[in-house]
Structure 1
């Protein structure tokens, strides 16, 4: 494909994405029956749960302590990010990408203020920290976990605890047990782990493709708009864990580490733990399959699987021995899902508006890069970044069609969306500053005009 045709395809992809986002924001105000974010709700409930659909939040033009630092970080990334990413030593670049991502996420959170934007986010009435004081017997909590998922019982779990496997709750319980209780410590933990996904992504891209591509991806993942929801939602933590599991798998498959078997074991353990943080992370198997497809041959892939799968099953066995069976929880959470607001969120709107949320979360620069992933020559050559971007898209579409992800997907799908933020590395380097600027401006605009729920 000629550069001119490729550029035209980028513009078409971005134009369609803009139309999708505009439609998702406008349609709720056109009164089109069930093609709307919420049905059977009072005006107050519509305001509370769908004021800025497809994004979960409220219209509120505001600035805060994080505005200045966020602008400085964004401008610095645009002006110097691509050049610095080419010059630094690899390990320094990986650490700087992580640090920049953490600072960017924290600054965006602080636009809403310390309490509202950071320390208080995980202490809301539906969040995990509200449940932590009630856990006095961890073994008993695990044995009864699945039974307490359905709503309208005297001892039902609160919303977010019921909607996830016990690993998420256990994480915050353990933090509390070691003296790091409260919203500020929980928020710091989530930002630290969630922002580390930026480093994990470029490590994986380097292993699966090449170092040059990873260096081109670094500025984009460091200041991705997804940071708005990495700070502070527990899904940022889930995304970070899953990203490192996949990065370890990539290192094992590519054999770019001294002990590939150890990396494969780590990948199995980390991905096994990830599945007990979020039921939807079962779809991470699609990204793992894409990574395995990059192996030199099928025997190499089988060698990695022979180590990683038993390690993952060991995590399953530990939870089963403790009294929690993943499939029991999954079936119970489906029941709980339809007991709540999901029943009033029509699929006729959210089936496509969810995808508009993805566009908002990854930025238009990432959309342009995703269009480049559909390169048949690169796919036939099993180019790692192309395959993992396509796998992330497939996971998002599967989650969408399941009807178990309606609204709030800008945070729920973080473990998949963060991989799409590396896609601009496929764009011509001469356009990188432009697309970085588009992403940064989009993130700043959204964060300053919408008070996001997370």
Structure 2
């Protein structure tokens, strides 16, 4: 284990004993006000403006409809178990078991939430809709031909235009589901299982990254929160959960490379480059993971991993280019495709700030309060690992927002960035952990039972 580079435990003892400080209340009230405004504003706006927002349960993409399902009881029981035992077990179990248990718990939590909507609507049927990836899989007879013609089919209003989701992402996404089909894992259930497994593994990546850049004690404090994340509502099942998992492991490998030496550092550095390089071929927006990667290097005070990671990432770019897909061409065409659809009507005057209310639903009140603690000037100057990592995730979200290419649906689209806000929960006082875990659980359960989410 490397030298601790700043831990969340170095807080004022008097504040540490308190469950909630005045600053925490301010953060909680600000988050509540933002979410309330995002819900109420469409009700008060001009009728045409409300229609152009193009969501039925603002700020979430879905529609209101109270419901229960097979997963209700399981989700409640898992939440109660994590609240009751999570903080204690995270301290007492071995480190490897903490990482493994966090991923398994996240998996169970995500699947149980999906089952509230039912097997078909909540899980197996999510990725087989006409606008999703699996709709295009049967038409891919040759992978090289698909990559070569990919850019030519991005724009809309053509006879052979890709479906909405395929056209809106680089070919790595479609390639993933084609390969699953080729090895015999065909259909919506297998595709959903892949997405959920990779997405929930991000819990382990966050713990490893935090432990590497700070210490295991700090990482153990965030374990219950990454396991019980409200983002699980969209991790099961949105392909963005898969993107989140891939990107998170790319960052974890970078953290390993930055905090070790020799052959292991080289292997981790190359691995990080390959994984993050592939990530930008899953989602154009994942170039913004460079913000989180930069935070890792700043925390570790080294640039060495770049020497291995950048050439590896460029190799991935070169491979796709050799098969006919140039990333920049695809990106420019996607921007054009974006404004061929409802993006031209969705008002930035609303989504420019309501996006953050959507993202708040995916991270929960605990992350909002933890982020409020991270934003205190003294902590930023101290360059604590959890502070810089969470602020890097926030900065990536801000850049994505001002690009105006993320108007709505960011509760899923921003998962690769917003998940890093969860590391700020390490800043919450230990006595308050169960209190905030209750808030996280209630957030997810209310959303999943009151809103029929589309993703």
TM range (shorter): over 0.9
| Residues 5 and 65 of structure 1: CA distance in aligned 2, closer, same or farther (over 3 Å) | closer
Does the alignment pair 1:361 with 2:366? Answer: no
Contact 2:19 2:429 in 1 (8 A): no
Contact 1:369 1:427 in 2 (8 A): yes
Where 1:259 maps in the other structure, the secondary structure is helix
Q: Deviations over 1:378-406 (max 9, x none)?
A: 33332111101001000000000000000
Does the alignment pair 1:7 with 2:21? Answer: yes
Deviation at 1:254, TM superposition (A): 1.4
Q: Indicate the residue corresponding to 2:395 in structure 1.
A: 394
Q: Indicate the residue corresponding to 2:216 in structure 1.
A: 211
Within 5 Å, give how 1:349-428 maps onto structure 2: 349-428=350-429
Q: Deviations over 1:18-73 (max 9, x none)?
A: 01111111111112477x4543xxxxxx7xx4110110111110110000110000
Q: Indicate the residue corresponding to 2:35 in structure 1.
A: 21
Q: In structure 2, what is the Cα distance between the partners aligned to 1:392 and 1:38?
A: 31
| Residues 161 and 37 of structure 1: CA distance in aligned 2, closer, same or farther (over 3 Å) | farther
Contact 2:196 2:236 in 1 (8 A): yes
Q: Indicate the residue corresponding to 1:147 in structure 2.
A: 152
Equivalent of residue 237 in structure 2, options 229, 232, 250? 232
Q: In structure 2, what is the Cα distance between the partners aligned to 1:359 and 1:295?
A: 29
Uncovered stretches (5+) of structure 2, i.e. residues with no partner: 1-11
Q: In structure 2, what is the Cα distance between the partners aligned to 1:32 and 1:373?
A: 38
Q: Indicate the residue corresponding to 2:114 in structure 1.
A: 109
Q: Indicate the residue corresponding to 1:83 in structure 2.
A: 88
Q: Which moved more, 1:342-351 or 1:372-381?
A: 372-381
Where 2:452 maps in the other structure, the secondary structure is strand
Does the alignment pair 1:57 with 2:57? Answer: no
Q: Indicate the residue corresponding to 2:3 in structure 1.
A: none
Q: In structure 2, what is the Cα distance between the partners aligned to 1:394 and 1:37?
A: 29
Deviation at 1:377, TM superposition (A): 3.3
Where 1:451 maps in the other structure, the secondary structure is strand
Question: TM (normalized to structure 2)?
Answer: 0.94
Number of residue pairs matched by the alignment: 441
Q: Which moved more, 1:139-148 or 1:389-398?
A: 139-148
Q: In structure 2, what is the Cα distance between the partners aligned to 1:404 and 1:164?
A: 13
Does the alignment pair 1:137 with 2:142? Answer: yes
Q: In structure 2, what is the Cα distance between the partners aligned to 1:165 and 1:10?
A: 40
Q: Indicate the residue corresponding to 1:444 in structure 2.
A: 445
Contact 2:87 2:433 in 1 (8 A): yes
Contact 1:38 1:346 in 2 (8 A): no
Q: In structure 2, what is the Cα distance between the partners aligned to 1:256 and 1:356?
A: 42
Contact 1:78 1:436 in 2 (8 A): yes
Q: Indicate the residue corresponding to 1:432 in structure 2.
A: 433
Q: In structure 2, what is the Cα distance between the partners aligned to 1:77 and 1:257?
A: 39
Does the alignment pair 1:189 with 2:194? Answer: yes
Contact 2:247 2:276 in 1 (8 A): yes
| Residues 377 and 146 of structure 1: CA distance in aligned 2, closer, same or farther (over 3 Å) | same
| Residues 285 and 141 of structure 1: CA distance in aligned 2, closer, same or farther (over 3 Å) | same
Q: In structure 2, what is the Cα distance between the partners aligned to 1:107 and 1:196?
A: 16
| Residues 84 and 5 of structure 1: CA distance in aligned 2, closer, same or farther (over 3 Å) | closer
